[in-house]
Amino acid sequence: LFRPSVTLQWGFLPQWELGIELPFLHFEGGFLDEFIQDYHNFFGFPNAGREFVPNGRFSYVISQNGQPLYSVGAVPFRPSDLVLHVKRQFLKDEGAAPAVAATFYLKLPTGSKSHGTGSGMLDAGVNVAVQKSYKRLHGYANLGGAILGATDFGLQDFLNTYLWNWMAALELTAWSHHLGVIGQIQGDGSLFDGTG
Protein backbone atom coordinates (compact mmCIF):
# COMPACT_ATOMS: atom_id res chain seq x y z
CA LEU A 1 0.00 0.00 0.00
CA PHE A 2 1.51 3.34 -1.06
CA ARG A 3 -0.15 6.56 0.18
CA PRO A 4 1.39 9.84 -1.01
CA SER A 5 -0.64 12.99 -0.44
CA VAL A 6 -0.84 16.66 -1.30
CA THR A 7 -1.31 18.82 1.81
CA LEU A 8 -1.98 22.55 2.08
CA GLN A 9 -1.85 24.36 5.45
CA TRP A 10 -2.62 27.96 6.26
CA GLY A 11 -1.85 29.70 9.55
CA PHE A 12 -4.57 32.33 9.56
CA LEU A 13 -4.12 33.62 13.14
CA PRO A 14 -1.16 33.30 15.54
CA GLN A 15 -2.51 30.09 17.14
CA TRP A 16 -4.79 28.75 14.38
CA GLU A 17 -4.23 26.63 11.27
CA LEU A 18 -6.49 25.33 8.51
CA GLY A 19 -5.48 22.41 6.36
CA ILE A 20 -6.62 20.18 3.53
CA GLU A 21 -5.10 16.86 2.47
CA LEU A 22 -5.75 14.97 -0.75
CA PRO A 23 -4.23 11.48 -0.44
CA PHE A 24 -3.71 9.00 -3.26
CA LEU A 25 -3.69 5.22 -2.80
CA HIS A 26 -1.95 2.49 -4.78
CA PHE A 27 -2.29 -1.22 -3.95
CA GLU A 28 0.01 -3.87 -5.38
CA GLY A 29 1.47 -7.22 -4.37
CA GLY A 30 5.03 -6.02 -3.89
CA PHE A 31 8.19 -8.07 -4.29
CA LEU A 32 9.25 -9.15 -0.77
CA ASP A 33 6.83 -12.05 -0.15
CA GLU A 34 9.39 -14.83 -0.57
CA PHE A 35 11.97 -13.00 1.59
CA ILE A 36 9.40 -12.37 4.35
CA GLN A 37 8.27 -16.02 4.34
CA ASP A 38 11.88 -17.23 4.55
CA TYR A 39 12.54 -14.80 7.41
CA HIS A 40 9.47 -15.98 9.32
CA ASN A 41 10.32 -19.64 8.71
CA PHE A 42 13.95 -19.17 9.82
CA PHE A 43 12.93 -17.62 13.18
CA GLY A 44 9.76 -19.68 13.61
CA PHE A 45 7.44 -16.67 13.46
CA PRO A 46 3.77 -17.10 12.46
CA ASN A 47 3.22 -16.71 8.72
CA ALA A 48 -0.18 -14.94 8.94
CA GLY A 49 -1.67 -17.07 6.17
CA ARG A 50 0.89 -16.04 3.53
CA GLU A 51 1.26 -19.69 2.51
CA PHE A 52 -2.35 -19.68 1.26
CA VAL A 53 -1.84 -16.82 -1.23
CA PRO A 54 0.49 -16.72 -4.26
CA ASN A 55 3.51 -14.41 -3.97
CA GLY A 56 3.15 -10.97 -5.53
CA ARG A 57 -0.64 -10.83 -5.12
CA PHE A 58 -2.53 -8.05 -3.35
CA SER A 59 -5.81 -9.12 -1.82
CA TYR A 60 -7.94 -7.49 0.87
CA VAL A 61 -10.96 -9.60 1.79
CA ILE A 62 -13.41 -9.46 4.68
CA SER A 63 -15.59 -12.56 4.87
CA GLN A 64 -18.09 -14.13 7.21
CA ASN A 65 -18.62 -17.90 7.27
CA GLY A 66 -16.63 -18.17 4.03
CA GLN A 67 -18.76 -15.60 2.20
CA PRO A 68 -16.94 -12.41 1.11
CA LEU A 69 -18.54 -9.21 2.43
CA TYR A 70 -15.96 -6.84 0.94
CA SER A 71 -13.03 -7.43 -1.40
CA VAL A 72 -10.42 -5.23 -3.09
CA GLY A 73 -7.61 -6.23 -5.46
CA ALA A 74 -4.61 -4.36 -6.84
CA VAL A 75 -5.42 -0.72 -7.69
CA PRO A 76 -3.40 1.86 -9.65
CA PHE A 77 -3.01 5.36 -8.17
CA ARG A 78 -6.43 6.82 -7.35
CA PRO A 79 -7.53 9.74 -5.16
CA SER A 80 -8.70 8.78 -1.68
CA ASP A 81 -10.90 10.52 0.90
CA LEU A 82 -10.27 14.26 1.35
CA VAL A 83 -9.32 15.32 4.90
CA LEU A 84 -9.98 18.81 6.29
CA HIS A 85 -8.57 19.99 9.61
CA VAL A 86 -8.51 22.97 11.92
CA LYS A 87 -5.78 23.18 14.57
CA ARG A 88 -5.31 25.46 17.56
CA GLN A 89 -2.25 25.83 19.75
CA PHE A 90 -3.25 26.45 23.37
CA LEU A 91 0.17 26.61 25.07
CA LYS A 92 3.75 27.20 23.91
CA ASP A 93 6.73 25.22 25.18
CA GLU A 94 7.85 27.89 27.68
CA GLY A 95 9.20 27.48 31.19
CA ALA A 96 7.68 24.42 32.88
CA ALA A 97 4.64 24.35 30.57
CA PRO A 98 4.63 22.05 27.54
CA ALA A 99 3.32 23.03 24.13
CA VAL A 100 -0.28 21.82 23.71
CA ALA A 101 -2.33 21.82 20.51
CA ALA A 102 -5.60 20.23 19.44
CA THR A 103 -6.69 19.32 15.92
CA PHE A 104 -10.20 18.57 14.66
CA TYR A 105 -10.43 16.44 11.49
CA LEU A 106 -13.25 15.85 9.05
CA LYS A 107 -12.83 13.14 6.40
CA LEU A 108 -15.05 13.56 3.37
CA PRO A 109 -16.06 10.45 1.37
CA THR A 110 -14.46 11.46 -1.95
CA GLY A 111 -12.62 8.19 -2.70
CA SER A 112 -14.00 5.09 -4.41
CA LYS A 113 -15.57 2.41 -2.22
CA SER A 114 -15.51 -0.17 -5.00
CA HIS A 115 -11.76 0.30 -5.55
CA GLY A 116 -10.96 0.47 -1.82
CA THR A 117 -9.67 4.05 -1.91
CA GLY A 118 -12.57 5.50 0.07
CA SER A 119 -14.81 4.44 2.91
CA GLY A 120 -18.01 6.05 1.66
CA MET A 121 -18.41 7.49 5.17
CA LEU A 122 -18.12 10.95 6.69
CA ASP A 123 -15.78 10.56 9.67
CA ALA A 124 -14.71 13.04 12.36
CA GLY A 125 -11.79 13.00 14.75
CA VAL A 126 -9.84 14.98 17.30
CA ASN A 127 -6.19 14.79 18.33
CA VAL A 128 -4.39 16.44 21.26
CA ALA A 129 -0.62 16.83 20.94
CA VAL A 130 1.84 17.69 23.72
CA GLN A 131 5.51 18.59 23.29
CA LYS A 132 8.18 19.44 25.86
CA SER A 133 11.84 20.19 25.16
CA TYR A 134 14.86 20.49 27.43
CA LYS A 135 18.08 21.39 25.65
CA ARG A 136 18.65 18.53 23.15
CA LEU A 137 15.95 16.21 24.58
CA HIS A 138 12.39 16.46 23.25
CA GLY A 139 9.32 14.55 24.37
CA TYR A 140 6.12 14.15 22.35
CA ALA A 141 2.73 12.62 23.14
CA ASN A 142 -0.50 12.38 21.14
CA LEU A 143 -3.93 11.12 22.07
CA GLY A 144 -6.69 11.00 19.50
CA GLY A 145 -10.07 9.55 18.70
CA ALA A 146 -12.40 9.25 15.73
CA ILE A 147 -16.11 8.68 15.17
CA LEU A 148 -16.88 6.64 12.07
CA GLY A 149 -19.92 7.38 9.95
CA ALA A 150 -22.51 4.79 8.95
CA THR A 151 -21.49 2.32 6.28
CA ASP A 152 -23.35 0.35 3.65
CA PHE A 153 -20.56 -2.18 3.12
CA GLY A 154 -22.52 -4.88 4.96
CA LEU A 155 -19.98 -4.63 7.78
CA GLN A 156 -22.16 -2.94 10.42
CA ASP A 157 -21.87 -5.97 12.73
CA PHE A 158 -18.06 -5.77 12.69
CA LEU A 159 -17.05 -2.10 12.52
CA ASN A 160 -16.48 -0.20 15.72
CA THR A 161 -18.11 3.22 15.86
CA TYR A 162 -15.24 4.82 17.79
CA LEU A 163 -11.50 4.50 17.30
CA TRP A 164 -8.68 5.78 19.51
CA ASN A 165 -4.94 6.14 19.03
CA TRP A 166 -1.94 7.24 21.06
CA MET A 167 1.75 7.92 20.56
CA ALA A 168 4.71 8.72 22.83
CA ALA A 169 8.20 9.56 21.61
CA LEU A 170 11.57 10.82 22.80
CA GLU A 171 14.02 12.59 20.51
CA LEU A 172 17.65 13.39 21.10
CA THR A 173 19.02 15.95 18.65
CA ALA A 174 22.67 15.76 17.68
CA TRP A 175 25.02 18.63 16.94
CA SER A 176 22.43 20.48 14.92
CA HIS A 177 18.64 20.59 14.80
CA HIS A 178 18.73 18.68 11.51
CA LEU A 179 19.95 15.35 12.92
CA GLY A 180 18.43 13.34 15.74
CA VAL A 181 17.47 9.93 17.05
CA ILE A 182 13.84 9.19 17.87
CA GLY A 183 12.33 6.33 19.83
CA GLN A 184 8.56 6.01 19.45
CA ILE A 185 5.78 3.72 20.62
CA GLN A 186 2.21 3.91 19.42
CA GLY A 187 -1.05 2.05 19.58
CA ASP A 188 -4.63 2.25 18.45
CA GLY A 189 -8.00 0.62 18.82
CA SER A 190 -9.26 -1.95 16.37
CA LEU A 191 -11.39 -0.98 13.40
CA PHE A 192 -13.19 -4.31 13.67
CA ASP A 193 -15.03 -5.84 16.61
CA GLY A 194 -16.01 -9.45 17.21
CA THR A 195 -13.51 -10.89 14.73
CA GLY A 196 -11.47 -12.88 17.25
Which DSSP state fits 29? -
Spatial distance between the Cα atoms of 72 and 59, rounded to a whole number of angstroms: 6
Structure confidence at residue 152 (pLDDT)? 64
pTM over cut 0.75? yes
Q: Alpha-carbon distance 75 to 140, whole Å? A: 35
Distance CA 109, CA 80 (A): 8
Predicted confidence band at 153 (pLDDT cuts at 50, 70, 90)? low
Q: How do residues 59-96 score in pLDDT, each as one tens digit?
A: 888 877 888 888 888 888 899 999 999 999 999 999 88
